[in-house]
Structure 1
Amino acid sequence: LKLALQGVSPYLSVSECDDICPALRDTVDLFISGSHDDYIEQVEKYNQDSDVLETADTLKSCVDEKLTPQDKQDALSALNKIYSSSLC
C-alpha cells in the first residue's frame, strides 16, 4: 500500500504514508464490521462531500444487509494478511 500511495502521489513522504495506513485500516475495519454510525463518522473525518457521504451510507447499508458474520470475518482475516505485509 505504501508503494502504491507513493506512486500515485510522489509528494507524500514516507511518514505521511505511515499516517495514512492506520486511518485506512480503521475505516475499512469499520466498513466491514463496525456500526453504521461509527463508519459514517469515520468517513466524515476525511470527506464532508454530501455525495461521498450518501454513497458511504448506501454501501455500508449493503454490507450490513448482505454479508454474513462469517463473510465479515473472512474479509477481516484477509485484510489482516495485507496489513501485516511489509509494504503497508
Structure 2
Amino acid sequence: MKLTGALVLLGAALLLTSEGECGICPAIMKELDLFLGPSVTEYVDYVSQYKNDTATLENAENLKICIDNKLTADDKANAKSLLDKINANAFC
C-alpha cells in the first residue's frame, strides 16, 4: 500500500475515534471490516442501511471493487492490524 493511502487511513481512523471512549465507533469498525473484507455485496448491503439511494450504492460498489483490485491481501491485513492497534491503544 502506498504511504499516502496508509496515512489517509490512519488519519480517518484517528478522526473517527471518540473522545469519551477509546477505540473506533463500532458501526465504523464494522464498515471498515466489510470494506476490507472479500464481499462487495455485504459491504453495499451494509451501506444501504444508512443511505439507500442509487448513486450512493453505485459509488460504494465501485469503491469496494477498486479497493479489491488495488490492495493486496497483505495490504488489507496491514490495514486491519492498524485498526486493531488503534482500538487496543489506551490513549486513543
User: TM-score, normalization: structure 2?
Assistant: 0.69
Alpha-carbon deviation of 1:85? Answer: 3.2
Which is higher, the Rg of structure 1 or of structure 2?
1
Alpha-carbon deviation of 1:68? Answer: 0.7
SS at match of 1:57: helix
* Cα distance in structure 2, aligned partners of 1:52 and 1:86: 35
Match of 1:55 among 55, 59, 69: 59
The one-letter amino acid paired with 1:46 is Y
Root-mean-square deviation (CA, aligned residues, Å) is: 2.2
* Cα distance in structure 2, aligned partners of 1:82 and 1:47: 27
The 5 A counterparts of 1:6-85 are 21-85=25-89
Of Structure 1 and Structure 2, the greater helix share is in 1
Number of paired residues? Answer: 75
Determine if contact 2:38/2:68 at 8 Å carries over to the other structure. Answer: no
User: TM-score, normalization: structure 1?
Assistant: 0.72
SS at match of 1:81: helix
In structure 2, stretches of 5+ residues that fail to align are 1-16
* Cα distance in structure 2, aligned partners of 1:87 and 1:50: 39
* Cα distance in structure 2, aligned partners of 1:38 and 1:87: 32
Determine if contact 1:2/1:87 at 8 Å carries over to the other structure. Answer: no
Runs ≥4 in structure 1, deviation > 3 angstroms? 85-88
The one-letter amino acid paired with 1:30 is L
In structure 1, stretches of 5+ residues that fail to align are 4-13
